[in-house]
C-alpha cells in the first residue's frame, strides 16, 4: 500500500471513530441497562456478555430476555428476534450498493457490525465522499467495545444508573437519527417518503406495536419511492 | 434438534440459544445483500426503492419516541429538525438534548 493510501485510510478511520463519538454515551448506557436486566433475569454475567457480543442488537436482546423469562419455546425466541431484526435486511440491500471497496470476505465480516447507527452513518458517508473500509471499521471500533464494556458494567453494578431518563439518554438516539435523517433530504422524493413512513410508523406503533412499525412503516415509504420512480432522470429526459 | 426447538428454553441451554440468536441476527444483516446479489442488474424502481431506505427507516425510529414521551420530547425533536436545516449534527444533538434535560430537571 502506498504512503498516500495509508494516510487516507488513517484519516478515514479517524473520521469514522469521531462520527461515533456523540452516540457512545447512549450506547454504553443502553449496554449497562441490558447487562443489569440480564443478570436480574437470571443470566450469568458471561451469558449476558455472550449475548451482547454475538447478537449485538440491543432491542432484540431485551425481547430475548423477556421471552426467556416466560420459558418460551426456543423456536419462538428465534422467530421474535428475527422479526425485531428484520429491518437489517433492508440495510444490507441498500448499503451493499456502496460497498464496492469491500472485496471478498471483508464485506461479510463488515455485515456483522451493521447496526442502526452504523447503517445511518455509513449511508451518509457513501453519499458525501464514498464509503471506505477504514471509515466503516473506524465507526464500529468505537461503538462495539463501548457496547460490550457497558454490558459488562451493567452486569457488575446494575443498580448504579438509577435514572437514565433524567439525563435524556432515551431521547439521545432519536435526536441523533433526526440529524442523519435530515442529511438525506437532497435525495429524490425524500419528503413524500418521510411523510409516508412517518405517518405509517405512528399508526403501526399504536395499533400493531413494535417492532413492526419499523419494517412495515419503512416499507410504506419504500414502496412509494418505487412507485414514484426516478423523477430526476425523468426531468432530464423531458428537458 | 426439533425437540430442542419446540421445548421451553432450559436454563442449561441458554448459551446455545444465544449463539443461535447471533446467527439469526447475522443472517438479517447480510441477507439483504445476499438476496440482491442474485440479480445481475437492478431495475430502476428497485434502485429508487433502495435509495429511499435510509430516510424511510430513520423516520420510523424518530416518530414513536417523539410522539409517545410527552410534549417536551416532541418539542425537542421538532427543534432538532429545524436546527438541522442550518447547524452541524453535534450542535443539533446538544440543542435537542438540552431541551429534554431542562424539561425533565424542571420536573416535567
Which residues on A lie below 8 Å from B30 (Cβ)? 92, 108, 111, 114
Could you tell me if B46 and B10 lie in one domain? Answer: no
**Residue A174 CA to its chain's centroid (Å):** 12
Q: Which residue of A has its CA nearest to B6?
A: A73
- Residues 72-91, chain B, touching A (beta carbon < 8 A): 73, 76-77, 80-81, 84-85, 89-90
The C-alpha cell at B51 is: 435509495
Tell me the torsion sign for CA atoms A195, A196, A197, A199. Answer: positive
A96-121, pLDDT tens digit by residue?
A: 999 999 998 999 999 999 999 999 99
Cβ burial of B47 (10 Å; 0-12, 13-18, 19+) is: middle
B99 and B51 together in one domain: yes
pLDDT digits (tens, 9 = 90+) for B83-101: 999 998 889 989 999 999 9
Q: Are residues B14 and B55 in the same domain?
A: no
Question: Are residues B14 and B47 part of one domain?
Answer: no
B54 with B103, same domain: the answer is: yes
B103, B54: one domain: yes
Q: Write phi, then psi, for A208 (nearest 5 degrees).
A: -110, -30
Whether B50 has its CB under 8 Å from any CB of chain A: the answer is yes
- Quick one: pLDDT at residue A80? 82
Decide which of A189 and A231 is more confident: A189
Question: Hey, CA dihedral for B77, B78, B82, B83, is it positive or negative?
Answer: negative
- Quick one: pLDDT band at residue A58, thresholds 50, 70, 90? confident
Residue A91 to residue B29, Cβ atoms within 8 A: yes
CB contact (8 A) between residue A168 and residue B100: yes
Q: Which domain covers residue B27, as residue numbers?
A: 1-38
Domain ranges of chain A: 3-169, 185-239
B31 and B69 share one domain? no
Considering chain A, what percentage of its residues have pLDDT values greater than 70? Answer: 92
Residue range B7-58, pLDDT digits in tens:
888 888 899 999 999 999 999 999 999 998 888 788 889 889 988 998 998 9
B28/A82 CB distance under 8 A:
yes
With bands split at pLDDT 50, 70 and 90, how would you rate the model's confidence at B76? very high
What pLDDT is stored for residue A160 in this prediction?
62
A182 and B69 within 8 Å at the Cβ level: the answer is no
Verify that B57 and B98 share a domain, yes or no: yes
Cβ within 8 Å, pair A171-B55: no
Secondary structure (3-state) at A18:
helix
Quote the percentage of chain B above a pLDDT of 70: 100
Tell me what pLDDT residue A129 has: 92
pLDDT band at A234 (very low <50, low <70, confident <90, very high): very low
**Do residues A29 and B97 make contact, with C-beta atoms less than 8 angstroms apart?**
no
Q: How many CB pairs under 8 A join A and B?
A: 289
Whole-angstrom Cα distance, residue A151 to residue A162? 16
Amino acid at each position: 500500500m502506498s504512503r498516500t493510501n495509508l494516510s487516507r485510510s488513517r484519516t478515514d478511520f479517524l473520521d469514522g471513530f469521531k462520527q461515533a463519538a456523540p452516540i457512545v454515551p447512549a450506547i454504553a448506557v443502553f449496554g449497562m441497562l441490558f447487562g443489569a436486566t440480564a443478570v436480574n433475569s437470571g443470566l450469568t454475567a458471561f451469558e449476558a456478555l455472550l449475548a451482547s457480543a454475538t447478537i449485538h442488537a440491543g432491542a432484540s436482546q431485551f425481547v430475548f430476555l423477556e421471552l426467556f423469562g416466560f420459558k418460551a419455546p426456543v423456536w419462538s425466541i428465534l422467530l421474535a428476534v428475527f422479526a425485531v431484526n428484520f429491518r437489517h435486511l433492508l440495510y444490507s440491500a441498500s448499503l451493499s450498493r456502496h460497498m464496492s471497496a469491500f472485496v471478498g470476505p471483508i464485506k461479510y465480516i463488515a455485515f456483522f457490525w451493521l447496526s442502526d447507527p452504523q447503517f445511518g452513518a455509513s449511508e451518509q458517508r457513501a453519499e458525501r465522499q464514498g464509503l471506505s473500509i477504514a471509515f466503516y471499521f473506524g465507526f464500529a471500533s468505537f461503538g462495539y467495545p463501548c457496547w460490550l464494556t457497558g454490558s459488562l458494567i451493567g452486569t457488575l453494578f446494575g443498580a448504579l444508573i438509577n435514572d437514565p431518563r433524567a439525563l435524556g439518554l432515551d431521547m439521545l438516539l432519536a435526536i441523533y437519527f433526526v440529524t442523519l435523517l435530515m442529511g438525506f433530504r437532497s435525495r429524490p422524493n425524500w419528503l413524500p417518503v418521510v411523510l409516508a413512513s412517518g405517518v405509517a410508523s405512528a399508526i403501526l406503533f399504536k395499533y400493531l406495536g413494535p417492532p413492526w412499525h419499523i419494517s412495515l412503516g419503512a416499507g410504506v415509504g419504500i414502496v412509494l419511492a418505487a412507485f414514484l420512480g426516478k423523477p430526476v432522470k425523468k426531468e432530464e429526459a423531458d428537458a | 434438534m426439533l425437540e430442542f426447538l419446540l421445548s421451553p428454553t432450559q436454563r442449561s441451554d441458554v448459551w446455545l440459544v444465544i449463539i443461535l440468536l447471533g446467527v439469526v441476527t447475522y443472517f438479517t444483516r447480510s441477507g439483504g445483500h445476499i438476496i440482491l446479489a442474485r440479480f445481475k442488474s437492478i431495475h430502476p424502481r428497485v434502485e429508487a426503492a433502495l435509495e429511499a431506505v435510509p430516510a424511510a427507516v430513520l423516520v420510523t425510529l424518530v416518530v414513536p419516541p417523539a410522539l409517545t414521551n410527552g410534549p417536551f420530547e416532541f418539542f425537542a425533536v421538532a427543534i432538532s429538525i429545524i436546527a438541522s436545516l442550518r447547524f452541524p449534527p453535534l450542535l443539533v444533538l446538544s440543542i435537542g438534548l438540552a431541551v429534554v434535560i431542562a424539561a425533565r430537571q424542571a420536573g416535567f
